[in-house]
Protein backbone atom coordinates (compact mmCIF):
# COMPACT_ATOMS: atom_id res chain seq x y z
CA UNK A 1 0.00 0.00 0.00
CA UNK A 2 1.27 3.48 -0.81
CA UNK A 3 1.87 5.90 2.05
CA UNK A 4 0.59 9.50 2.38
CA UNK A 5 4.16 10.75 1.79
CA UNK A 6 4.48 8.67 -1.39
CA UNK A 7 1.05 9.80 -2.60
CA UNK A 8 1.90 13.45 -1.96
CA UNK A 9 5.15 13.11 -3.89
CA UNK A 10 3.38 11.43 -6.81
CA UNK A 11 0.60 14.01 -6.80
CA UNK A 12 3.15 16.82 -6.83
CA UNK A 13 5.12 15.35 -9.75
CA UNK A 14 1.92 14.52 -11.60
CA UNK A 15 0.68 18.10 -11.19
CA UNK A 16 3.91 19.53 -12.63
CA UNK A 17 3.84 17.30 -15.71
CA UNK A 18 0.09 17.62 -16.23
CA UNK A 19 0.34 21.41 -16.13
CA UNK A 20 3.21 21.29 -18.61
CA UNK A 21 1.21 19.05 -20.97
CA UNK A 22 -2.19 20.74 -20.88
CA UNK A 23 -1.73 24.30 -19.66
CA UNK A 24 1.69 25.10 -21.12
CA UNK A 25 1.23 23.22 -24.42
CA UNK A 26 4.18 20.92 -23.63
CA UNK A 27 6.39 23.99 -23.80
CA UNK A 28 5.66 24.80 -27.46
CA UNK A 29 4.98 21.18 -28.37
CA UNK A 30 8.18 19.95 -26.74
CA UNK A 31 10.36 22.38 -28.71
CA UNK A 32 11.30 24.48 -25.68
CA UNK A 33 14.81 24.41 -24.22
CA UNK A 34 13.89 21.76 -21.63
CA UNK A 35 11.84 19.76 -24.11
CA UNK A 36 12.16 16.46 -25.93
CA UNK A 37 11.96 17.48 -29.58
CA UNK A 38 15.35 17.35 -31.31
CA UNK A 39 16.91 18.67 -34.49
CA UNK A 40 18.71 15.85 -36.29
CA UNK A 41 20.32 16.59 -39.69
CA UNK A 42 21.90 13.11 -39.83
CA UNK A 43 18.76 10.97 -40.12
CA UNK A 44 17.90 11.31 -43.82
CA UNK A 45 19.51 8.02 -44.94
CA UNK A 46 17.88 6.15 -42.08
CA UNK A 47 14.45 7.57 -42.86
CA UNK A 48 14.86 6.78 -46.55
CA UNK A 49 15.73 3.17 -45.68
CA UNK A 50 12.62 2.93 -43.49
CA UNK A 51 10.47 4.26 -46.33
CA UNK A 52 11.95 1.75 -48.76
CA UNK A 53 11.40 -1.17 -46.38
CA UNK A 54 7.79 -0.08 -45.79
CA UNK A 55 6.95 -0.82 -49.43
CA UNK A 56 7.44 -4.53 -48.74
CA UNK A 57 5.17 -4.98 -45.72
CA UNK A 58 1.49 -5.98 -45.68
CA UNK A 59 -0.28 -3.26 -43.72
CA UNK A 60 -3.54 -5.25 -43.76
CA UNK A 61 -2.39 -7.80 -41.19
CA UNK A 62 -1.58 -7.52 -37.49
CA UNK A 63 2.13 -7.21 -36.72
CA UNK A 64 3.86 -8.47 -33.58
CA UNK A 65 7.38 -7.80 -32.34
CA UNK A 66 7.61 -11.21 -30.69
CA UNK A 67 7.14 -12.96 -34.04
CA UNK A 68 10.28 -11.29 -35.41
CA UNK A 69 13.13 -13.59 -34.42
CA UNK A 70 15.50 -11.87 -36.83
CA UNK A 71 15.07 -8.59 -34.93
CA UNK A 72 15.62 -10.25 -31.54
CA UNK A 73 18.78 -11.93 -32.85
CA UNK A 74 20.05 -8.61 -34.16
CA UNK A 75 19.53 -7.00 -30.74
CA UNK A 76 21.38 -9.87 -29.03
CA UNK A 77 24.26 -9.67 -31.48
CA UNK A 78 24.60 -5.91 -30.97
CA UNK A 79 24.85 -6.36 -27.19
CA UNK A 80 27.34 -9.18 -27.55
CA UNK A 81 29.44 -6.73 -29.55
CA UNK A 82 28.93 -3.71 -27.27
CA UNK A 83 28.84 -5.40 -23.84
CA UNK A 84 30.60 -8.71 -24.34
CA UNK A 85 27.53 -10.43 -22.89
CA UNK A 86 24.72 -12.03 -24.89
CA UNK A 87 21.30 -11.22 -23.35
CA UNK A 88 19.25 -14.10 -22.07
CA UNK A 89 16.06 -12.63 -23.48
CA UNK A 90 14.75 -9.64 -25.44
CA UNK A 91 11.33 -7.98 -25.42
CA UNK A 92 10.94 -5.49 -28.28
CA UNK A 93 8.34 -2.79 -27.77
CA UNK A 94 6.90 0.51 -28.97
CA UNK A 95 8.62 3.02 -26.74
CA UNK A 96 9.90 3.14 -23.17
CA UNK A 97 6.68 4.25 -21.46
CA UNK A 98 4.79 1.10 -22.43
CA UNK A 99 7.66 -1.04 -21.14
CA UNK A 100 7.77 0.79 -17.81
CA UNK A 101 4.02 0.34 -17.26
CA UNK A 102 4.17 -3.29 -18.38
CA UNK A 103 7.00 -4.10 -15.98
CA UNK A 104 5.18 -2.57 -13.00
CA UNK A 105 2.06 -4.50 -14.07
CA UNK A 106 4.17 -7.67 -14.19
CA UNK A 107 5.43 -7.01 -10.66
CA UNK A 108 1.82 -6.64 -9.55
CA UNK A 109 0.99 -10.00 -11.16
CA UNK A 110 3.92 -11.54 -9.24
CA UNK A 111 2.51 -10.23 -5.97
CA UNK A 112 5.22 -7.61 -5.35
CA UNK A 113 3.99 -5.13 -2.74
CA UNK A 114 7.06 -2.92 -2.33
CA UNK A 115 10.08 -1.88 -4.33
CA UNK A 116 13.21 0.14 -3.60
CA UNK A 117 14.63 2.81 -5.85
CA UNK A 118 17.58 5.09 -6.28
CA UNK A 119 16.30 8.54 -7.25
CA UNK A 120 15.64 9.87 -9.76
CA UNK A 121 13.27 7.56 -11.60
CA UNK A 122 10.98 8.65 -14.40
CA UNK A 123 7.70 10.15 -13.19
CA UNK A 124 5.69 7.51 -15.08
CA UNK A 125 6.98 4.93 -12.60
CA UNK A 126 5.78 6.93 -9.60
CA UNK A 127 2.30 7.12 -11.11
CA UNK A 128 2.28 3.39 -11.93
CA UNK A 129 3.39 2.44 -8.40
CA UNK A 130 0.60 4.48 -6.89
CA UNK A 131 -2.05 3.12 -9.27
CA UNK A 132 -1.06 -0.46 -8.39
CA UNK A 133 -0.65 0.18 -4.67
CA UNK A 134 3.06 -0.68 -4.66
CA UNK A 135 5.07 0.95 -1.89
CA UNK A 136 8.13 2.70 -3.41
CA UNK A 137 10.99 3.21 -0.93
CA UNK A 138 13.92 5.54 -1.82
CA UNK A 139 17.27 4.28 -0.55
CA UNK A 140 19.12 7.58 -0.88
CA UNK A 141 18.39 11.19 -0.01
CA UNK A 142 20.66 12.36 -2.81
CA UNK A 143 21.02 11.66 -6.51
CA UNK A 144 24.15 10.05 -8.00
CA UNK A 145 25.69 13.29 -9.29
CA UNK A 146 25.31 15.13 -5.96
CA UNK A 147 28.12 15.56 -3.47
CA UNK A 148 28.11 13.05 -0.61
CA UNK A 149 25.84 10.69 -2.55
CA UNK A 150 25.42 7.40 -0.70
CA UNK A 151 22.77 4.71 -0.49
CA UNK A 152 21.68 1.95 1.84
CA UNK A 153 20.69 -1.30 0.12
CA UNK A 154 18.13 -3.44 1.97
CA UNK A 155 19.18 -6.77 3.45
CA UNK A 156 15.85 -8.29 2.49
CA UNK A 157 16.24 -11.17 0.03
CA UNK A 158 14.43 -11.22 -3.32
CA UNK A 159 13.90 -7.46 -3.31
CA UNK A 160 13.29 -5.30 -6.38
CA UNK A 161 15.44 -2.23 -7.05
CA UNK A 162 14.87 0.45 -9.71
CA UNK A 163 17.58 2.80 -10.95
CA UNK A 164 18.13 5.07 -13.94
CA UNK A 165 21.51 5.05 -15.67
CA UNK A 166 22.40 7.44 -17.14
CA UNK A 167 20.42 10.18 -15.43
CA UNK A 168 18.45 11.48 -18.38
CA UNK A 169 18.30 15.15 -17.44
CA UNK A 170 21.92 15.63 -16.30
CA UNK A 171 23.86 13.47 -18.77
CA UNK A 172 25.69 11.71 -15.93
CA UNK A 173 26.31 8.04 -15.15
CA UNK A 174 26.64 5.98 -12.00
CA UNK A 175 30.18 5.31 -10.88
CA UNK A 176 31.72 1.86 -11.29
CA UNK A 177 31.86 1.62 -7.50
CA UNK A 178 28.14 2.29 -7.09
CA UNK A 179 27.10 -0.29 -9.67
CA UNK A 180 29.67 -2.71 -8.25
CA UNK A 181 28.00 -2.38 -4.84
CA UNK A 182 24.58 -3.01 -6.41
CA UNK A 183 25.94 -6.08 -8.25
CA UNK A 184 27.41 -7.56 -5.08
CA UNK A 185 24.15 -6.93 -3.20
CA UNK A 186 22.14 -8.41 -6.06
CA UNK A 187 24.13 -11.65 -5.98
CA UNK A 188 24.00 -11.85 -2.17
CA UNK A 189 20.25 -11.28 -1.89
CA UNK A 190 19.05 -12.77 -5.21
CA UNK A 191 17.31 -9.47 -5.92
CA UNK A 192 15.93 -8.10 -9.18
CA UNK A 193 17.34 -4.85 -10.56
CA UNK A 194 15.47 -2.83 -13.18
CA UNK A 195 17.69 -0.37 -15.07
CA UNK A 196 16.02 2.39 -17.06
CA UNK A 197 18.80 2.80 -19.61
CA UNK A 198 16.74 4.69 -22.17
CA UNK A 199 19.66 7.03 -22.91
CA UNK A 200 22.47 4.48 -22.82
CA UNK A 201 25.07 4.13 -25.59
CA UNK A 202 25.37 7.89 -26.16
CA UNK A 203 28.84 8.64 -24.74
CA UNK A 204 30.48 11.96 -25.54
CA UNK A 205 33.93 10.34 -25.65
CA UNK A 206 32.84 7.57 -28.05
CA UNK A 207 33.59 4.69 -25.66
CA UNK A 208 30.64 2.29 -25.63
CA UNK A 209 30.81 1.04 -22.07
CA UNK A 210 27.69 0.61 -19.96
CA UNK A 211 28.61 -0.59 -16.48
CA UNK A 212 25.06 -1.88 -15.80
CA UNK A 213 25.76 -4.60 -18.39
CA UNK A 214 27.87 -6.20 -15.64
CA UNK A 215 24.83 -6.84 -13.42
CA UNK A 216 23.66 -10.45 -13.02
CA UNK A 217 21.84 -11.39 -16.29
CA UNK A 218 19.48 -13.83 -14.52
CA UNK A 219 18.24 -11.03 -12.22
CA UNK A 220 18.47 -7.86 -14.33
CA UNK A 221 15.97 -6.08 -16.57
CA UNK A 222 17.56 -3.33 -18.68
CA UNK A 223 15.57 -0.93 -20.85
CA UNK A 224 17.28 0.45 -23.98
CA UNK A 225 15.79 2.93 -26.47
CA UNK A 226 17.10 3.06 -30.07
CA UNK A 227 14.66 5.88 -30.91
CA UNK A 228 16.49 8.06 -28.41
CA UNK A 229 19.95 6.87 -29.49
CA UNK A 230 19.15 7.96 -33.03
CA UNK A 231 17.05 10.98 -32.02
CA UNK A 232 14.22 9.86 -34.29
CA UNK A 233 11.19 10.12 -32.05
CA UNK A 234 8.34 9.85 -34.54
CA UNK A 235 8.97 6.11 -34.68
CA UNK A 236 8.58 4.26 -31.39
CA UNK A 237 11.02 1.49 -30.57
CA UNK A 238 12.54 0.36 -27.29
CA UNK A 239 13.49 -3.05 -25.99
CA UNK A 240 13.98 -4.76 -22.67
CA UNK A 241 16.89 -7.10 -21.99
CA UNK A 242 15.61 -9.57 -19.42
CA UNK A 243 16.17 -12.95 -17.76
CA UNK A 244 15.04 -16.00 -19.74
CA UNK A 245 12.94 -17.11 -16.76
CA UNK A 246 10.79 -13.97 -17.02
CA UNK A 247 10.67 -13.58 -20.81
CA UNK A 248 7.35 -15.31 -21.48
CA UNK A 249 5.51 -13.79 -18.50
CA UNK A 250 6.72 -10.29 -19.30
CA UNK A 251 5.91 -10.69 -23.01
CA UNK A 252 2.36 -11.79 -22.20
CA UNK A 253 1.88 -8.88 -19.81
CA UNK A 254 3.17 -6.42 -22.40
CA UNK A 255 0.93 -7.91 -25.12
CA UNK A 256 -2.14 -7.39 -22.95
CA UNK A 257 -1.24 -3.74 -22.33
CA UNK A 258 0.13 -2.60 -25.70
CA UNK A 259 -1.44 -5.07 -28.14
CA UNK A 260 0.02 -5.59 -31.63
CA UNK A 261 2.77 -3.31 -32.87
CA UNK A 262 2.30 -0.65 -35.56
CA UNK A 263 3.85 -1.99 -38.75
CA UNK A 264 5.99 1.14 -39.09
CA UNK A 265 7.54 0.53 -35.67
CA UNK A 266 8.74 -2.92 -36.73
CA UNK A 267 10.08 -1.57 -40.02
CA UNK A 268 11.91 1.20 -38.17
CA UNK A 269 13.28 -1.24 -35.59
CA UNK A 270 15.22 -3.18 -38.22
CA UNK A 271 16.73 -0.08 -39.79
CA UNK A 272 17.41 1.43 -36.36
CA UNK A 273 19.46 -1.57 -35.24
CA UNK A 274 21.49 -1.35 -38.47
CA UNK A 275 22.12 2.36 -37.82
CA UNK A 276 23.13 1.67 -34.21
CA UNK A 277 25.58 -1.01 -35.34
CA UNK A 278 27.02 1.48 -37.83
CA UNK A 279 27.29 4.12 -35.02
CA UNK A 280 27.56 7.07 -37.45
CA UNK A 281 24.30 8.83 -36.50
CA UNK A 282 24.76 8.62 -32.69
CA UNK A 283 28.42 9.64 -33.00
CA UNK A 284 27.59 12.72 -35.11
CA UNK A 285 24.84 13.76 -32.71
CA UNK A 286 27.12 13.44 -29.69
CA UNK A 287 29.82 15.42 -31.50
CA UNK A 288 27.32 18.28 -31.92
CA UNK A 289 26.17 18.01 -28.32
CA UNK A 290 29.72 18.06 -26.95
CA UNK A 291 30.73 21.08 -29.05
CA UNK A 292 27.57 23.00 -28.17
CA UNK A 293 28.05 22.36 -24.49
CA UNK A 294 31.67 23.46 -24.64
CA UNK A 295 30.73 26.60 -26.61
CA UNK A 296 27.96 27.60 -24.19
CA UNK A 297 30.15 27.03 -21.13
CA UNK A 298 33.15 28.85 -22.66
CA UNK A 299 31.00 31.86 -23.57
CA UNK A 300 29.42 31.86 -20.10
CA UNK A 301 25.91 31.30 -21.43
CA UNK A 302 25.49 28.38 -19.04
CA UNK A 303 27.30 27.15 -15.94
CA UNK A 304 27.02 24.15 -13.65
CA UNK A 305 28.92 22.22 -11.00
CA UNK A 306 27.76 19.00 -12.70
CA UNK A 307 30.04 17.42 -15.31
CA UNK A 308 27.98 15.68 -18.03
CA UNK A 309 29.42 12.88 -20.13
CA UNK A 310 26.63 11.38 -22.22
CA UNK A 311 23.23 11.94 -23.81
CA UNK A 312 21.87 15.23 -25.07
CA UNK A 313 20.43 16.78 -21.93
CA UNK A 314 22.34 18.66 -19.22
CA UNK A 315 21.37 20.45 -16.01
CA UNK A 316 22.67 24.02 -15.99
CA UNK A 317 22.20 27.58 -14.82
CA UNK A 318 21.20 29.83 -17.70
CA UNK A 319 23.22 33.05 -17.49
CA UNK A 320 21.42 34.98 -20.24
CA UNK A 321 17.86 36.33 -20.04
CA UNK A 322 15.03 34.18 -21.41
CA UNK A 323 11.76 35.59 -22.82
CA UNK A 324 9.22 36.61 -20.18
CA UNK A 325 7.14 33.66 -18.98
CA UNK A 326 9.32 31.13 -20.78
CA UNK A 327 8.63 27.55 -19.61
CA UNK A 328 11.53 25.49 -18.27
CA UNK A 329 11.90 22.28 -16.28
CA UNK A 330 13.73 22.84 -13.02
CA UNK A 331 14.55 20.56 -10.08
CA UNK A 332 10.89 20.25 -9.06
CA UNK A 333 10.33 17.91 -12.01
CA UNK A 334 13.09 15.54 -10.91
CA UNK A 335 12.67 15.11 -7.12
CA UNK A 336 15.65 17.42 -6.66
CA UNK A 337 15.85 19.60 -3.56
CA UNK A 338 19.03 21.52 -4.33
CA UNK A 339 20.38 23.27 -7.41
CA UNK A 340 18.25 26.40 -7.36
CA UNK A 341 18.07 28.17 -10.75
CA UNK A 342 19.24 25.07 -12.64
CA UNK A 343 17.16 23.77 -15.56
CA UNK A 344 17.15 20.76 -17.83
CA UNK A 345 18.65 21.85 -21.16
CA UNK A 346 18.27 19.79 -24.34
CA UNK A 347 21.34 20.56 -26.44
CA UNK A 348 19.57 19.30 -29.60
CA UNK A 349 16.51 21.46 -28.97
CA UNK A 350 15.07 23.28 -32.02
CA UNK A 351 15.02 26.35 -29.73
CA UNK A 352 18.70 26.27 -28.76
CA UNK A 353 19.42 29.58 -30.48
CA UNK A 354 17.22 31.37 -27.96
CA UNK A 355 20.34 31.26 -25.78
CA UNK A 356 22.69 32.72 -28.40
CA UNK A 357 23.72 32.21 -32.01
CA UNK A 358 25.53 28.87 -31.79
CA UNK A 359 27.74 28.16 -34.80
CA UNK A 360 27.44 24.38 -34.37
For 256-315, write each residue's pLDDT tens digit.
999 999 999 999 999 999 999 999 999 999 999 999 999 999 999 999 999 999 999 999
Report, as an integer, the average pLDDT of 324-351. 93
Which of the listed CATH numbers 3.40.640.10, 3.40.190.10, 2.60.120.10, 3.30.56.10 matches domain 50-278? Answer: 3.40.640.10
Report, as an integer, the average pLDDT of 178-204. 98
Count of C-beta atoms within a 10 Å radius of residue 83:
19
How far apart, in Å, are the Cα atoms of 197 and each of 56, 164, 212? 32, 6, 9
Report, as an integer, the average pLDDT of 244-258. 97
Q: Smallest Cα–Cα separation from 139: which of 160, 123, 167, 111?
A: 160
% of the chain at pLDDT higher than 70? 98
Report, as an integer, the average pLDDT of 121-132. 94
* Long-range contacts of 179-185, Cβ-Cβ distance < 8 Å, separation of 24 or more: 179/211, 179/212, 179/214, 179/215, 180/214, 181/151, 181/153, 182/153, 182/215, 183/214, 183/215, 183/216, 185/153
The per-residue pLDDT for 121 is 96
The per-residue pLDDT for 16 is 84
Does 87 have pLDDT greater than 80? yes
Count of C-beta atoms within a 10 Å radius of residue 333:
18
pTM: 0.95
Question: First-to-last CA distance in the chain?
Answer: 50
Model pLDDT for residues 43-53, shown as the tens digit of each residue: 999 999 999 99
Domain boundaries defined on the chain: 4-42+287-354, 50-278
Does 7 have pLDDT greater than 70? no
Does 146 have pLDDT greater than 80? yes
Q: Smallest Cα–Cα separation from 206: which of 347, 315, 309?
A: 309
| 3 state SS of 130 | helix
Rounded CA separation 26/31 (Å): 8
Rounded to the nearest integer, the mean pLDDT of the chain is 94
What does DSSP say about strands 89-93 and 238-242: parallel, antiparallel, or unpaired?
Answer: antiparallel
Confidence of residue 3 (pLDDT cuts 50, 70, 90): low
Rounded CA separation 85/182 (Å): 18
Does 1 have pLDDT greater than 70? no
Q: Smallest Cα–Cα separation from 325: which of 13, 17, 36, 25?
A: 25
What does DSSP say about strands 220-224 and 192-197: parallel, antiparallel, or unpaired?
Answer: parallel
Amino acid sequence: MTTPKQSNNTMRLNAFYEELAFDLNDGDGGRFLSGWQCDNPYASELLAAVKERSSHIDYRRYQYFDEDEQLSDRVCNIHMLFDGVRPQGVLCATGSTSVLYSFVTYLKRLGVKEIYYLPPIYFTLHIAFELYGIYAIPISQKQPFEKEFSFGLPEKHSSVLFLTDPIWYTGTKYSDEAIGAVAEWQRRTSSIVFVDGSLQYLPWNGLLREITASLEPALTFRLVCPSKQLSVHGYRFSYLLLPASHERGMAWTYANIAGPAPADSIIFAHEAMAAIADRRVPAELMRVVFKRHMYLRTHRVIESEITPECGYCVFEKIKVPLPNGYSVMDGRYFELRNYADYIKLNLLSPSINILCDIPI
